[in-house]
A and B are shown apart, each in its own frame.
Chain A
Amino acid sequence: MSALAQTTNPLILDASGIVKRFGGFTALDGVDFTVRPGERVGLIGPNGSGKSTFVNCITGALVPEAGRVLFEGADITRLSAHRRARMGLARSFQIPRPFKGMTIRENIEIPLAFAAGETSRRKSAERAGEILHSVGLGPRAADLPASLSQVELRRLELGRALAANPRLLIADEAMAGLSDSEVDEILELLVRLNGEGIAVILIEHIMRAVTGFCERIVVLVAGKKIADGAAAEVMRHPDVERAYLGQ
């Protein structure tokens, strides 16, 4: 566990009893989930287990039917997505969603202006340059997103999340479809961000990335949490082996 996570700070995220239904289908059934400041938590589960729905309930894209979401002690259950972003809760998307009509630099400047509250254009441009450099997109600042490769788009997603000045970053399948070396690139970036004190929730199917990066893993199956603990311990859990790994 990182030094920051070992402190006695209160939970940065405390979601309890989250229920989300779509018509007669219960996508999330009383899920509890916590993250400490600076912690690296993995959220795994088979396709359709409710991971993305859970992320949407946490980030404000969906409102749960029951349950409560606390961020740094404040109840954000019914808060809009933009207000959560301004509080320091950032996400990257499973399928990259860049602002296609804007340059890479402009993509970074949007969360800088609207989430981080940077009102000076000069400072915003400087900070955008720093962020692009840190995610390895410095030389592409003036390009349009259409010219980026898949791994660069993932870097842009993370850069945009970073520009929101987050204390909790939710990386939703940030490595899907990438080669092994590209997965390592993104992991290296996430480790660096976590080293700056940002707690990370990693939603991923690539198990070597999850077990290598996360201190704790939460497993969702059919909208229910079936395991929550240290990576090695969770991966040996019989329910996880049966439900998630198909053994």
Chain B
Amino acid sequence: MSSLSTPYVEDRRGGLPRTLVWLGLAAAIGVVLFTVLGRFNSEYAYLAAYGVLQYVVLATGWNILGGYAGYVNFGAAGFYALGVYGSVFLYKLFPDLPVPVMVLVAAGVGALFGLGMGYLTLRLRGVFFSIGTLALSVILHTVIVNWEFVGGARGAYIIRPEDAPFFSSYAAYLCALMFVLAVIAVAIARTVQHSWLGRGLAAIRDDETAAECSGVASLKLKLAATSLSGAVLAMAGAPFPFFITYVDPATAFSLTVAVNTIAMPVIGGMATWIGPVVGAVLIGSLQQLATVTISSSANLLIVGLLLVVFTSIAPFGIMGLLSRRRTVR
């Protein structure tokens, strides 16, 4: 019988050749994706792809803490908004700053906020931790609503460049940027999963007291996880103001972001890096399909129904189901 949660027991360190294989695979996926998107010759295709890729980053970032360590962060939308408003703030100060620089700054701020949230809440466990993270998100929302410099409750407009070098449009450029962020997020999640940090987090998730008594420095590891998770979540939000050109607190802290970010890893499978990717691509694509065929208001309904189904019959998500099927065979 194989374990569902810790495939890292196999020695998967392949060094440089394996890294090159992964980079090659990511590049191949990127080439195929952008070739297909280019054939549509439509801004909407980039919008849809951006939305799905953004959820790959969000779900993957959330899973580093929620999936690997079992600490459910209800404040994911807060971290995302931190990235969104980090960019708005920088845009107001330095309008010509390249978006990738804003992404880097957002990642740094997200990591620091994650570290702070960890210090404040990680002595809590279970539902108390989750409520604590939700409370911090509410506090952040209140600060943004009352901060006039970044638009306050009215929101802020961003005037983005008309086009970007080497890309057919600025939307295509931002979509490519989000693809790179998705690759980075997955690389971080995969590295964590197969490292000593991932082993320790898995032990914490299974039994924190037993993990501590086995020498696992639980607080230190959880702080590393909150920082990494915070960095990735905030990173996902940073290009958004340039994509949509207007942001307000209701959009940045939206329930859709909060619910999807948690639902996608739950549906895909939280134990490994691939689960959130599968969940995000599947649910994100379904939502885009529902938006054009039914209504955008059907998005959360789809997620809600799938969440009920998966938590009832497949608590380990799609990857858990597949892993179990392989084991049975």
Contacts and interface: CB of A to CB of B under 8 A. Distances in A.
A144 B206 CA distance: 13
B214 A103 contact: no
Most buried by B among A111, A114, A147, A164: A114
B3 interface: yes
B206 A99 contact: yes
Contact of B9 (A81, A103, A119): A103
Contacts of A121: 11, 13
B213 A116 contact: no
Contacts, number: 106
Interface string A148-184: 0000000000001001100000000000000000000
Interface stretch (A30-38, A89-97, A130-138): A89-97
B196 A113 contact: yes
A93 B209 CA distance: 10
Contacts of B212: 60-61, 80-82, 85
Contacts of B11: 121-122
Interface string B64-108: 000000000000000000000000000000000000000000000
B271 A101 contact: yes
Nearest to A96: B210
Interface residues of B, number: 29
B202 interface: yes
A245 to B, nearest CB: 32
Interface string B202-230: 11011101111111111100000000000
Contacts of B213: 59-61, 81-82, 85, 90-91, 93
B207 A99 contact: yes
Given A61-B209, A102-B3, A106-B3, A82 B215 contact: yes
Most buried by B among A93, A110, A116: A110
A99 B271 CA distance: 14
Contacts of B5: 101-102
A109 interface: yes
A86 interface: yes
A159 to B, nearest CB: 11
A82 B209 contact: no
A119 B2 CA distance: 23
Interface in B171-220: 196, 199-200, 202-203, 205-207, 209-219
B222 to A, nearest CB: 12
B290 interface: no
A103 B203 contact: no
A100 interface: yes
Contact of B210 (A60, A99, A147): A99
Most buried by B among A61, A80, A82, A105: A82
Interface in B216-271: 216-219, 271
B1 A110 contact: no
B9 A115 contact: no
Interface in B1-38: 1-6, 9, 11, 13
Contact of B199 (A59, A97, A110, A160): A110
Contact of A114 (B4, B209, B215, B219): B215
A62 to B, nearest CB: 11
A126 interface: no
B214 A111 contact: yes
Contact of A101 (B6, B200, B209, B217): B6
A116 B214 CA distance: 9
A163 B2 CA distance: 22
A114 B200 contact: yes
B186 to A, nearest CB: 21
Contacts of A86: 215
Contacts of B3: 101-103, 106, 144
A75 interface: no
A207 interface: no
Contacts of B13: 121
Contacts of A65: none
Contacts of B215: 82, 85-86, 110-111, 113-116, 164
B214 A164 contact: yes
Given A98-B206, A111-B214, A114-B215, 11 more contacts: A59-B213, A81-B209, A82-B215, A99-B207, A101-B3, A102-B3, A109-B199, A114-B196, A114-B200, A115-B214, A116-B215
Q: Lowest 7 CB-CB distances: which A-B pairs, in order?
A: A115-B215, A101-B5, A114-B215, A99-B206, A111-B214, A81-B212, A97-B210
20 contacts: A60-B213, A80-B212, A80-B219, A81-B212, A82-B218, A85-B214, A93-B213, A97-B210, A99-B202, A99-B206, A100-B206, A100-B207, A101-B205, A103-B9, A109-B199, A110-B216, A111-B215, A113-B199, A114-B196, A114-B216
Interface of A: 59-61, 80-83, 85-86, 90-91, 93, 97-103, 105-106, 109-111, 113-116, 119, 121-122, 142-144, 147, 160, 163-164
